[in-house]
């Protein structure tokens, strides 16, 4: 029965996106991602690992034509010594919740959503805002769009759990069908058992890079310019959101994560 449901769901996704294509619905809503504009804390006494991480990120930015933040004493992610990552079980639960939200936003039949609830215990994993959407009698279009974008956060979490080798350059959306297949082929128990949370160093490297890419996107938006380097600002925002949750940025829960730049 599990494999039958996988075939049905993969067929459903293939009809939506076409074989091997990324989520096309997201393209219609990319302009809805407008994170607030913030001012970085000035004059930070950075640690060695913070400085090295920044230098590595800036080298990446420069190679892709992305402008960098000039103040050398500002705009850092937390150091390895101070960071406390989410636990593996927290990340697994959040990934499952985001998968469910994405599938629901696409219009997957309720019978399959109910089966997913039964297999994965979805309700206990949803945040308050997510529950408002999932249990709404008539969800708004904005709720559907927001849920749909969470596929990008799922992609980050799958990377953090070791299922995706690397996060590609964020100039296009993730391949939803591939990500859904990872979870469904394993099933709830094996997905959790085989997950291995990446190191602080790896996750902070990505958090630092996405911080700088998001700053560049926000800076361009303020100037009414396109995002530099072909970046997709919506993908950047969602990755930043997920990574800030992973590193417990300001100890914020999922519904209240901020993406300060």
59 in any annotated domain: no
Query: Is 65 within a domain?
Result: no
Q: How far apart are CA 203 and CA 212, in angstroms?
A: 15
Closest by CA to 160, choosing from 224, 247, 97, is 247
In the prediction, which pLDDT does 138 show? Answer: 96
**pLDDT higher than 70, residue 175:** yes
Q: Which band of pLDDT confidence, cut at 50, 70 and 90, is reported for residue 16?
A: low
Number of structural domains found in the chain: 1
Residue 216 in domain: no
Q: What whole-number distance in Å separates Cα of residue 22 and Cα of residue 19?
A: 9
Residue 104 lies in a domain: yes
* pLDDT, tens digit, 9 for 90 and up, residues 200-235: 999 999 999 999 999 999 999 999 999 999 999 999
Name, in order, each residue with C-beta under 8 angstroms of 182's C-beta and a sequence gap of 6 or more: 158, 163, 164, 191
C-alpha closest to that of 253 among 126, 136, 158, 133:
126
| Spatial contact of 88 and 196, defined as CB atoms under 8 Å apart | yes
| 143 belongs to a structural domain | yes
Question: Is 146 within a domain?
Answer: yes
30 within a domain of the structure (yes/no): no
Range of the domain at 160: 2-6+85-194
Supply the mean pLDDT for the chain.
Answer: 89
Task: Identify which has the larger pLDDT, 132 or 29.
Answer: 132
Q: Determine, yes or no, domain membership for 168.
A: yes
């Amino acid at each position: 029965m599990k494999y039958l449901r996988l075939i049905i769901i993969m067929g459903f996704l293939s009809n939506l996106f076409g074989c091997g294509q990324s989520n096309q619905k997201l393209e219609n809503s990319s302009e809805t991602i407008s994170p607030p504009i913030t001012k970085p804390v000035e004059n930070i006494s950075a640690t060695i690992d913070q400085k090295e991480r920044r230098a590595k990120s800036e080298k990446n930015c420069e190679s892709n034509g992305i402008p960098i933040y000039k103040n050398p004493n500002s705009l850092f992610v937390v150091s390895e010594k101070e960071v406390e990552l989410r636990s593996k079980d927290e990340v697994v639960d959040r990934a499952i919740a985001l998968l469910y939200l994405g599938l629901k936003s696409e219009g997957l039949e309720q019978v399959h959503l109910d089966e997913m609830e039964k297999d994965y215990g979805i309700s206990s994993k949803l945040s308050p805002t997510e529950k408002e959407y999932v249990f709404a009698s008539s969800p708004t279009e904005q709720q559907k769009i927001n849920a749909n974008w969470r596929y990008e956060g799922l992609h980050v979490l799958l990377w953090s759990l070791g299922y995706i080798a690397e996060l590609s350059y964020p100039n296009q959306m993730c391949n939803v069908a591939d990500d859904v297949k990872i979870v469904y082929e394993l099933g709830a128990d094996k997905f959790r058992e085989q997950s291995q949370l990446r190191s602080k160093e790896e996750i902070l490297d990505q958090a630092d890079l996405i911080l700088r890419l998001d700053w560049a996107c926000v800076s361009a938006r303020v100037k009414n310019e396109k995002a530099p380097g072909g970046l997709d600002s919506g993908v950047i925002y969602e990755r930043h959101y997920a990574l800030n949750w992973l590193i417990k940025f300001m100890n914020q829960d999922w519904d209240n994560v901020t993406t300060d730049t």
